[in-house]
Structure 1
């Protein structure tokens, strides 16, 4: 009956049962979002400049 309440109590010796740090995940997402926005902005500037030169 105890194994139904706590399935990890028997035979599971996994020492990496911790949650990921959310601060690191948010920081990575912000870096990727900022990088993507910069790339999109530079693409629009280059396209607009090429159209202007023609």
Structure 2
């Protein structure tokens, strides 16, 4: 059910990308804040690369 909701709200994402995002969010919750901000900047780079 969660997958279907996510597909409706993010139609441009494939199911495996959604799983990766949920997994990453779970990991981020367990990490210290400085690691979170580092990964955040990496994700920003990755998403801007995908758009280009």
Give the TM-score band, short-chain normalised. Answer: 0.3 to 0.5
Query: Which structure has more helix as a fraction of its residues?
Result: 2
Larger Rg computed on CA atoms: 1
Per the normalisation by structure 2, the TM-score is: 0.39
Higher relative contact order (CA 8 A, sep 6+): 2
